[in-house]
A = this chain, B = another copy of it.
Amino acid sequence: MRDVVVAGVGMTDFGVFRDRRLEDLIYEAGKGALCDAGIWEEREAVQALYVGNFSAEGFNRQNHVAPIAVRALGLMGVAACRTEGACASSGIAMREATLLVGAGVYDLVLVVGVEKMNTIETPGITRVLAEAAHAEEEAAAGATFPSLFAMIARRHMHVYGTTREMLSAVAVKNHRHGAKNPRAHLRKEITLEKAMNAQPICDPLNLYDCSLISDGAAAVVVASRERARSLAGIPVRILAAAQASDVPCLHDKPDITISRATRLAASRAFGEARLRPADVDLAEVHDCFTIAEIVATEDIGFFEKGKGGPAALDGATAFGGSIPVNVSGGLKSKGHPVGATGLAQVFEMVTQLRGQAGERQVAGAAVGLAHNLGGSGATCTVHLFGREL
């Protein structure tokens, strides 16, 4: 595998944009990434397009999204496809592009992630999201994502002594981080007291334990290191692109407090990059719920199993802590337009490793990790990024 870099990134604001079409979001993010790489005017150089999207079908009655992106960005003729792996849809797209550039099949690929969710009411959105679980064995039985992660949280509390306060500490931290991110959906700090006493959603999870229902898109130009030399953007190395799967249902797992796909993908990523968790300077992890961030920080290997909650409470994962997690605000505050989330994590990594993150810049950031999770943990991608020296 030859060296692969991110040569450009683009991203819309995340939020509620009822008057913007799916393709408007794609256009803004995709053009942003191509402009960042300095090849908007020569975009016939793009050799393939991957579009991460979870459910334009459910939210927009639009399947077959890749050609929509082809037209919006003026890339007619290019091989274009959508990848779908629930909330990891654009993590997968990112990995496909990285593998194919790394292997020499392509030199320059555009990856776009998009979701426009605020088209129907919340119960409908919850139903569409539940299609990422097992239709017959989970969704038909009444399971929703809040309820699945509530079970994980309850079990984590029981086994490891994780507390309500620890969950809320994740929410408070990510809101504090997101308040400094101009692209974040909900830029407001919250107090621990407010987070702990918010309206219950699915016990033990309350309103502030849940990520946001957002519209948005993000895009990344993936190129060989050599190809990137003639591009404008400051390149950031992709040190690893790993992926793993697990069974779709919680009830098939021996221990629901462990994300096996996260463990496997992280271990593969660290193996590829010849790095250890201690080498990582900052991470974007998939905090669809506060408990998910705690589980991820354990299973990636930042903390021992069961110590993710105390670490959040102690500030280890906060800006300025030993391993800052979700400095962008995460899914919790930056927002979670499902198919865009994986690439929005990459956007943050690249911004940080370029030293362009402004007041949320992690000083000396040289190695970053992005962790994107689909369903209740059935799909996981882990990418590692390194500052170009």
A161: Cβ under 8 A from any B Cβ: no
**Residue A18, interface by CB 8 Å:** no
How far, in whole Å, are A139 and B68 apart by their CA atoms in the complex? 14
Contact A84 B85 (CB under 8 A): no
Chain B: which residue is nearest A67 at the CB level? B378
Asked if A378 contacts B64 (CB within 8 A), the reply is: yes
Are A63 and B70 in touch, CB under 8 angstroms? no
B379 touches A71 (CB 8 A): no
Contact in complex: A83, B82 (CB < 8 Å): yes
- Stretch of A245-253, A315-323, A328-336 at the chain-chain interface: A245-253
The CB with the most chain B CB atoms within 10 A, among A63, A77, A244, is that of A63
User: Which one of A99-107, A185-193, A219-227 contacts B?
Assistant: A99-107
Q: Find the residue from A64, A83, A252, A260 having the highest chain B CB count within 10 A.
A: A64
**Given known A-B contacts A70-B245, A100-B100, A247-B70, A80 and B134 have beta carbons under 8 A apart:** no
Cβ-defined contact, A79 with B245, below 8 A: yes
Given contacts A57-B131, A379-B66, contact A84 B82 (CB under 8 A): yes
Q: A151 contacts the other chain (Cβ, under 8 Å)? A: no
A77 to B267, CA, bound (A): 12
Instruction: Decide yes or no whether A243 CB sits under 8 A from chain B.
Output: yes
A21-B136, A100-B99, A131-B61 are known contacts. Are A66 and B80 too (CB-CB below 8 A)?
Answer: no
Q: List 7 A-B contacts (CB under 8 A).
A: A1-B105, A60-B135, A64-B375, A79-B242, A81-B85, A81-B92, A82-B84
Binding site for B on A (CB under 8 A): 1, 21, 49, 54-58, 60-68, 70-71, 75-86, 92, 95-96, 99-100, 102-105, 128, 131-136, 139-140, 242-249, 252, 260-261, 264, 374-375, 378-379
